[in-house]
Amino acid sequence: MEPFINIRALIIDMDGVLWHGDQAIPGLTDFFQTLRAQNFRFILATNNASLTPPQYVNKLAKMGVTVTENEILTSGMATALYLSQHEDPATTRVFVLGEAGASEPLRQCGFTLTGLYQLNSAKTPGEGADIVVCGKDQTLSWDKLATASLNIRAGAKFIGTNADTTLPTEYGITHGNGAILAALQAATGVSPTIIGKPEPIIYQQAMALLGTDPAETVAIGDRLETDILGAVRTGIRSLMVLTGVSTQADLEASDYGPTWVMADIRAVTEALKTLAA
């Protein structure tokens, strides 16, 4: 195993690494105290696009951890930044199937957001969108899926904030945004462009925010096919914890893997402490 050295910054996943739903994983506060004490730079980079940075700040505060909005990067934020670099926000209309974490960054970038089609109206259903963005949505409905499908079938670009098919919660593993994307793809025959992990985009954006070199940056995650594969594609080292979706058996069956594997963030904390020893 590669020596645990030359680490200046961390890109840290949240679901399955820091918590399960609203339940903190043991060792959370000590982990962040160690990061602060040893001056590690970090970005909390999540594929979950349902929450906004202030909501994540509040969620961590309830768990006894203080972070700033500048230390958070969601796939919703990454999607808005990516689209603002490739489209003109002033003239581009976007339908968002998702929650505030997906819609607010787009609104802040200047995009016009369209509403649901009035499918039961005798009139035309409504003005269409140029782009459909799909993120995790706990208020998913038939009308939302129908509006997204109709826009995509009419030629709108299809963007997925992330493609995680599952989501670890305090109740167990449930469906993720990838399941919603699969429904829309089945309904339209169109494959989405994915912004979140395992695509390198969000990791590259995180390193730009950190101002660090790939050689001194490490990604921490729990999911082999997103967090770890994304790090491999980006060319950075990675550390997988076994408190989320992927297991040791998954690792043994995979033709790629993380640089290091640890049981949980308590083990990561102890490893980080050795860097200052």
Among candidates 243, 215, 209, which has minimal Cα distance to 227? 243
User: Does the annotation list 222 as a binding residue?
Assistant: yes
Asked about 137 being catalytic, the answer comes back as: no
Strands 19-20 and 23-24: antiparallel
User: Does the annotation list 137 as a binding residue?
Assistant: no
Integer angstrom CA distances of residue 17 from 25, 88, 223, 232: 7, 36, 9, 19
Catalytic residue of the set 13, 130, 164, 264: 13
Distance CA 54, CA 259 (A): 32
> What DSSP string runs through 163-227?
--SEEEETTEEEE-HHHHHHHHHHHHS-PPEE-STTSSHHHHHHHHHHT--GGGEEEEES-IIII
Instruction: Show the DSSP H helices in 110-156 as ranges.
Output: 142-153
User: Does the annotation list 15 as a binding residue?
Assistant: yes
Distance of CA 42 to the CA centre of its chain: 15
> What DSSP string runs through 212-269?
--GGGEEEEES-IIIIIHHHHHHT-EEEEESSSS--HHHHHH-S---SEEESSHHHHH
User: Does the annotation list 273 as a binding residue?
Assistant: no
Q: Which two tokens stand for residue 197?
A: 């992990």
Asked about 13 being catalytic, the answer comes back as: yes
Write out the binding residues for substrate.
Answer: 197
Show which residues are catalytic. Answer: 13, 15
Write out the binding residues.
Answer: 13, 15, 197, 222
